[in-house]
Structure 1
Amino acid sequence: MKLLLDENIPHPLKKDLSQHEVFTVQDMGWQGKENGALLKLMLANGFDAFITADKNLQNQQNFINYSIPVLVLSVNRLTYQNISKLLKKLIAILNSKLPKGATIIELE
């Protein structure tokens, strides 16, 4: 599966998802792109899912137009240590049939 990590996601997460083909926004040279433009680029470049911590993305974009799964990591403080607590859930979702649109992943 080809995944894109948003600019706000700590890069060490890339290693935790090594069973997939993982790129960061920086790897692709897409820094500073607006979300709509970023989603269009992802579709044009064959990405299967977008991983972000932008909780407002689902309210900013019409996912009917962009039928790509967006996995939103919901943590209090955006650090690798906090995000790694969501890793089991994230991997389980990635190993299932990905839902289109935004899926919030948070601690219970």
Structure 2
Amino acid sequence: MRILLDENLDWRLERDLPGHSVESVPRIGWAGITNGELIRRAEGRFEVLITMDTGLRHQLNITQRNVAVIVLRARSNRLADTRPLMTRVLALLETITSGTIETV
């Protein structure tokens, strides 16, 4: 699966997503763009966006979009706090569908 890590996450999380093609927002030059623009650009290039932006659910209606979003809920965006969630993220990647937002 093609996964995009938002700029609020440590790019090293890609190591915890084996078998998937993972990029990060800063690495592809998309840092600082709005959430709407991020979703628009991600469509067709990525299947899933992983973020810690809990407001995304209320800012955008992605039901008609060709991308899914996983929102991580952790104490902070530090790798030590987000890495333990990756087991649940991997399981969710097996069933998540475009146009949905899931929280882990």
Shift of 1:84: 1.2
Tell me, in whole angstroms, the C-alpha distance in 1 between the residues paired with 2:101 and 2:56.
8
| CA positional deviation for 1:97 | 4.0
Counterpart in the other structure of 1:38: 38
Counterpart in the other structure of 1:80:
79
Do the aligned residues in 1 keep the contact of 2:10 with 2:78 (CA within 8 Å)?
A: yes
Stretches (4+) displaced over 6 A:
none
> Is the 2:64–2:99 Cα contact (8 Å) retained in structure 1?
no
Letter of the structure 1 residue corresponding to residue 76 of structure 2: R
Shift of 1:63: 1.3
1:40-79 counterparts in 2 under 5 A? 40-44=40-44, 46-79=45-78
Distance 1:91 1:28 in 2: 23
Cα offset, 1:15, TM superposition: 1.2
- Asked whether the equivalents of residues 3 and 23 of structure 2 are also in contact (C-alpha less than 8 Å), the reply is yes
RMSD: 1.4
Q: Runs of 5+ in structure 2 lacking a partner?
A: none
Q: CA deviation at 1:60?
A: 0.4
User: Hey, what's the Cα distance between the residues in 1 that align with 2:5 and 2:76?
Assistant: 17
- The more displaced of 93-102 and 62-71 is 93-102
* CA displacement 1:21-42 (0-9 Å, x = unmatched): 0000012110101000011101
2:65, 2:91 → 1: CA distance? 23
Q: What residue in structure 1 maps to residue 91 of structure 2?
A: 92
- Distance across 1 between alignment mates of 2:47 and 2:66: 10
CA shift for structure 1 position 99: 5.8
- Give TM-score scaled by structure 1 length: 0.88
Task: Using the aligned pairs only, state the percent identity.
Answer: 30
Following the alignment from structure 2 to structure 1, what is the Cα–Cα distance between the partners of residues 88 and 98? Answer: 14
Q: What runs of 5+ residues in structure 1 fail to find an aligned partner?
A: none
Letter in 1 for 2:87: K
